[in-house]
Amino acid sequence: MMTGFSRSLHRFVETHEYREHRRLAGEVARTRARLTSLTGVHRPTTPTGYELPATSLAISTIAAWKLHNPDDNRTMTPLEEIPPGDLDLEALREQVRASEIDFAALRRAMAATAAEKPVFSLADVLDRFPADQGLATIVGLLVLAEGLTRDHGRATRSESTETLSWTTASGGIRSMALPRYIVSEIPTEWRRRVHVA
């Protein structure tokens, strides 16, 4: 659920769909206002001289139907066997990181921050480890902090807010004010994956 939410949120922000929705809603509202003002001048039943063609379902007999033959779509070109290439693990890792939140890296970042600062906030994590996945990093940190809050009070959500920033794909800086999470303890298994020199 969280992966689907983060993908939808990232796509919604990057494609600016909300701007088109807002523009379309404004156009519909203006059209309704104009139509309301015309009701005092023209009756709804007044002929306009314009015919709007209505769509209809084409009716035919069963004898006119043509059965679908799957062989009609079968390709006659023989398949060409392509030998497998070398697997680039680094490129594959980057593709996965571009589509999924890297929770393992975020846990390592929080564990490394805890090794330097026993009590910290999410802004402290971003000071040491910038949001390399953009907004997905912020969403991932919030998910982990909320999980620690429910896990025996290892983190607390304060009434104050803090500003978290990230860099977009185009190089712009974005930031948002979010509730401040104070992390006082992290799971032991997170520490085992971090080697502090």
Mean pLDDT within 146-159: 87
Where is average pLDDT lowest: 24-28, 40-44, 121-125, 172-176?
Answer: 40-44
Res. 146: pLDDT tops 80: yes
Domain boundaries, the chain: 2-38, 101-192
Res. 157: pLDDT tops 60: yes
Summarised one tens digit per residue, pLDDT across range 64-91 is 888 888 777 777 777 788 777 666 666 6
Q: CA–CA separation, 17 vs 14, rounded Å?
A: 8
